Structure 1
Amino acid sequence: MPFANIKIPQAALSKTQKEELVHRVTNLFVDYFSEAARPHTMVLIEEVPDGGYGRADEVYTIPEAYRAKD
Structure 2
Amino acid sequence: MPFVNIKTPEGALSKVQKEEIVHRTTDMLVDYLSEAARPHTMVLIEEVKDGGYGRADEIFVIPDAYRAPRES
Q: TM-score, normalised by structure 1?
A: 0.98
Aligned length: 70
User: RMSD value over aligned CA atoms?
Assistant: 0.6
Q: Which segments of structure 1 move beyond 4 Å, counting only runs of 4 or more?
A: none
Q: Deviations over 1:7-50 (max 9, x none)?
A: 00000000000000000000010000000000000000000000
Correspondence for 1:6: 6
Unmatched segments (≥5 aa) in structure 1: none
Provide the identity percentage. Answer: 74
Unmatched segments (≥5 aa) in structure 2: none
Whole-angstrom CA distance in 2 between matches of 1:5 and 1:24: 14
Q: TM-score, normalised by structure 2?
A: 0.95
Correspondence for 2:23: 23
The one-letter amino acid of 1:42's match is M
The one-letter amino acid of 2:8's match is I
